[in-house]
Structure 1
Amino acid sequence: MSTRPRKTIKIQPESNFGHTFRRPDLLTRALTHRSLSYETNPEALQDPEGDNEQLEFVGDAVLGLVVAESLYRRFPGSREGELTRLRASLVSRKHLADVAARIDLGRSLRLGKGEEQSGGRRKPALLANAMEAVIAALYLDGGLAAAQQFIEQHVIEPTLPDLNLALSGGSTFSGAIGDHKSALQEFLQAAGAGQPQYVLTDQTGPDHQKSFRVEVRIESGISLAESVGTTKKLAQQEAARLALTRLRTEASLLPQPAAAEAAG
């Protein structure tokens, strides 16, 4: 009886993580879910080094340390309670899953057949766990500096407009971090510029690997930004993030008197 060859999963280039691994096996392990480990070796559940769960434990600690230090450095005037709430949002499972989806980490996960068939590459829990494991792999291979560079670039810096908005009292801590669409909507409403409008301008690729291009505009018709994502939601979120960043430096994009109100 013939068997179909197992689909080969191509792990993302190391350059995508900003680090060249001296021990590439660490990255492979970080992307290996225990469903594959167990499927390959039924005794694997007794071997904690066969999947990424131990690395998740280490990555969680490294992530918490780097985020805490970064927030302390970036927002020296904030109280402990404010920093604690910001940290909780940045290290949350939801935010980590969003980050993993944005960098298309799911494409590189090494999953067992059952997990593959059940859509494991898009499951938030698996994506968040893999993010922590990758952070651990970076730390164990390249030290704190390698992990810190990745965390700053992918976990913290894209959320800075939201962090500032939350600290300024313009939004709640729970909803603003990582939810760029909500942050943009609140910004425009506060400026009297109406609702943002998201327009799908293009989509390409086969059904299992589509790419969506989305443009965000204000009611006056001015285009603020556009982005491409593997889902419409991801493309909209990234377009909203880019729009927020642009609006904070180009208030003239807003119709008068909205620009004056936003500047004030």
Structure 2
Amino acid sequence: MGQPSLETLERALGHRFGQQHLLVQALTHSSLAHEQHLTGEAPAELHQDNEQLEFLGDAVIGLLVGESLFRRFPQLQEGELTRLRAALVSRKHLGHVGAKLRLGRYMRMGKGEERSGGRKKAALLANCMEALVAALYLDAGLETARAFVERHAVEPYVEDLQKEMLEGRAMGDHKSALQEYLQAYKGGQPVYILKKESGPDHRKKFTVEVHHSANGSAGMALARGTGTSRKKAEQEAARRALEKLRAAAVEASHD
């Protein structure tokens, strides 16, 4: 079966493109553009993938989500707004939104990427979402892009995310929350290191240490966690690290 028509996608998006090439480019993965270039199946001017549109779309989404949160929640502090924005612009969230819109059905990709299940990959769907927002912005302006982002990426999720945050729960899970916190306040990523594995096979115990890394290598140790699986130990380490970081932030604010 062939791909559904772009008109079908345009109806789902609520926008008819005046510049169709922008929509096509937003849906084109680099694997197809590379194949076309190698085989000469398309003229040079059509060897365009969606990577540059991703770059622009990332900035547009960040602006629109930030403005939306600013207007919705005037009572929230900067740190709280930052956490909400991080959740709403995350690759995981945008990939989820792209899957709900069924963007995978419309993506144009090379045969190798197709065979590897590219149409369902969250990272590719997130990239396509960013490129699509950029295409909407370039084709019809900021208001059209804003309406799309509000309707599909913000409105269905933001109230639940705010409730989770105010209740002190991790937005998603402890590991995701720690990653969002470090990106928002300190930069860098959490790195998990297995420190110890003990016990018989049926009663294994894992100890994991989480570090703050700003350059790709393990930096300062934040906390340790234990669990009956490595994943559980990582979640516990992330939970403890978050508690320490938030407590330190509160203490610093009182100085």
Normalising by the residue count of structure 1, what TM-score does the alignment of the two structures yield?
0.60
Q: Are the aligned partners of 1:48 and 1:54 in contact in 2 as well (CA < 8 Å)?
A: no
SS at 1:21's partner residue?
A: coil
Of residues 118, 121, 136 in structure 2, which corresponds to 1:120?
Answer: 118
TM-aligned CA deviation for residue 103 of structure 1: 1.1
TM-aligned CA deviation for residue 47 of structure 1: 7.3
Match of 2:159 in 1: 161
TM-aligned CA deviation for residue 99 of structure 1: 0.5
Match of 2:27 in 1: 31
TM-aligned CA deviation for residue 161 of structure 1: 3.2
The reply to whether residue 80 of structure 1 matches residue 78 of structure 2 is: yes
The reply to whether residue 40 of structure 1 matches residue 31 of structure 2 is: no
Paired AA for residue 19 in structure 1: H
Matches of residues 27-176 of structure 1 in structure 2 within 5 Å?
Answer: 27-42=23-38, 50-169=48-167, 171-175=169-173
After superposition, the C-alpha distances for 1:199-237 in whole angstroms (9 at most, x for unaligned) are xxxxxxxxxxxxxxxxxxxxxxxxxxxxxxxxxxxxxxx
Matches of residues 208-227 of structure 1 in structure 2 within 5 Å?
Answer: none
Q: Are the aligned partners of 1:9 and 1:110 in contact in 2 as well (CA < 8 Å)?
A: no
Match of 1:16 in 2: 12
* Unaligned segments of structure 1, at least 5 residues: 1-6, 177-264
Residues in 1 aligned to 2:69 and 2:46: alpha-carbon distance in whole angstroms? 33
Q: Are the aligned partners of 1:56 and 1:129 in contact in 2 as well (CA < 8 Å)?
A: yes
Normalising by the residue count of structure 2, what TM-score does the alignment of the two structures yield?
0.62
TM-aligned CA deviation for residue 162 of structure 1: 1.4
TM-aligned CA deviation for residue 167 of structure 1: 4.0
Q: Are the aligned partners of 2:26 and 2:132 in contact in 1 as well (CA < 8 Å)?
A: yes
Residues in 1 aligned to 2:46 and 2:57: alpha-carbon distance in whole angstroms? 15
Residues in 1 aligned to 2:161 and 2:14: alpha-carbon distance in whole angstroms? 24
Q: Are the aligned partners of 1:63 and 1:132 in contact in 2 as well (CA < 8 Å)?
A: yes
Q: CA RMSD for the aligned pairs? A: 2.3
Paired AA for residue 149 in structure 2: I
Residues in 2 aligned to 1:119 and 1:34: alpha-carbon distance in whole angstroms? 15
Percent identity between the two aligned chains: 54
Paired AA for residue 54 in structure 2: E
Paired AA for residue 70 in structure 1: S
SS at 2:95's partner residue?
A: helix
Residues in 2 aligned to 1:73 and 1:118: alpha-carbon distance in whole angstroms? 42
TM-aligned CA deviation for residue 49 of structure 1: 6.1
After superposition, the C-alpha distances for 1:43-96 in whole angstroms (9 at most, x for unaligned) are 89x979611000000000000000000000000000000000110010000000
Structure 1 pair 40–48 and aligned structure 2 pair: CA distance change class (3 A): closer
TM-aligned CA deviation for residue 134 of structure 1: 0.2
Residues in 2 aligned to 1:47 and 1:21: alpha-carbon distance in whole angstroms? 20
SS at 1:41's partner residue?
A: helix
After superposition, the C-alpha distances for 1:147-186 in whole angstroms (9 at most, x for unaligned) are 100100010011033123124325223539xxxxxxxxxx
After superposition, the C-alpha distances for 1:109-160 in whole angstroms (9 at most, x for unaligned) are 0011110011000111111000000000000001000110010001001103
